[in-house]
Amino acid sequence: MRLLIAAIAACLALGMPAGAGASDAQPSATSIEGWEAVGRLNIANGNICTGALVAPDLVLTAAHCLFDPRTGAQVAPASIWFEAGLSGRQAVALRQVAKAVVHPQYRYRPAGAHQIGSDLAVLKLDRPISRSRIQPLAMSQDAERGDILRVLSYTRRHATRPGLEPSCSVLARQSRTLVLSCLVDFGASGAPVLEMRPGLPPRLVSVISAKAAMGKRRVSIGTALDASLRELMRRAG
């Protein structure tokens, strides 16, 4: 199957001006069980992305978040901070990144043409976050066409409180690349795409990589999880 994507937008990492403020909260975002595992990644080059805790000391995000869009150079892991469960001015936990492991097939490309399908990275935190404070998100490799999903992210409009795309679907899948009807904004790079089933905690099935278009329809591109994630987590330690 060939994905008919008319245009891939620039990466969704967001440059934050000094003193950027919060927009109105979406109450439904924080009603999701375990939402505190999602947090804002503050990067020394002035960008922000979104990440999700997948182990007490490991955060999953998009690989392109780790590269400076002006120079193409990978940023130093220690220049990245993870604010888990950020709501307003307070986070449930704040940790510095000690190590970053990028998917071995990922190659950074200039904004507007960055690589999809392997846009994953795992960040090792300098200290674990206790499970009594935040439970890491469970993960699944089962995302398929037609599945109804949700996205939690920190964006231009929701810079200090998580925003929720409450109901979107998988329009197509090709290997590790998902085309989603989810509407996302700058800052949503690395945001978890969640599968919600009645009576069960949410499961992370994909990571947001880019905005795109199918004809006149706005869509987003996600990287689906597969067995390679376990190897990234192992290498991150």
Helix (H), strand (E), coil (C) string for 1-70: CCCCCCEEEEECCEECCCCCCCCCCCCCHHHCCCHHHEEEEEECCCEEEEEEEEECCEEEECHHHHECCC
The mean per-residue pLDDT over the stretch 78-82 comes to 98
Contacts of residue 19, Cβ cutoff 8 Å, sequence gap at least 6: none
CA dihedral sign, ordered 51, 55, 56, 57? negative
> Do 53 and 66 meet the contact criterion of CB atoms below 8 Å apart?
no
Going 28 to 33 to 36 to 38, the CA torsion angle's sign is negative
Q: Residue 4: what pLDDT?
A: 41
- Contact assessment for residue 211 and residue 6, using Cβ atoms and an 8 Å cutoff: no
Q: What angle do CA 49, 51, 55 make, to 5 degrees?
A: 160
Quick one: which H or E segment has residue 124?
strand 121-125
pLDDT above 90: residue 65: yes
**pLDDT in the model for residue 3:** 43
Of 139, 231, 147, 156, the closest CA to residue 182 belongs to 147
Q: Under 8 Å CB-to-CB from 230, ≥6 apart: which residues?
A: none
Model-level pTM greater than 0.85? yes
User: How high is the pLDDT of residue 152?
Assistant: 94
Tens of pLDDT, residues 104-158: 999 998 765 557 889 999 999 999 999 999 999 999 998 889 999 999 999 988 8
Res 236 pLDDT > 70: yes
pLDDT in tens, 9-41: 434 565 543 333 333 334 467 888 899 999 999
Query: pLDDT digit string (tens) for 195-219?
Result: 988 888 899 999 999 988 888 899 9
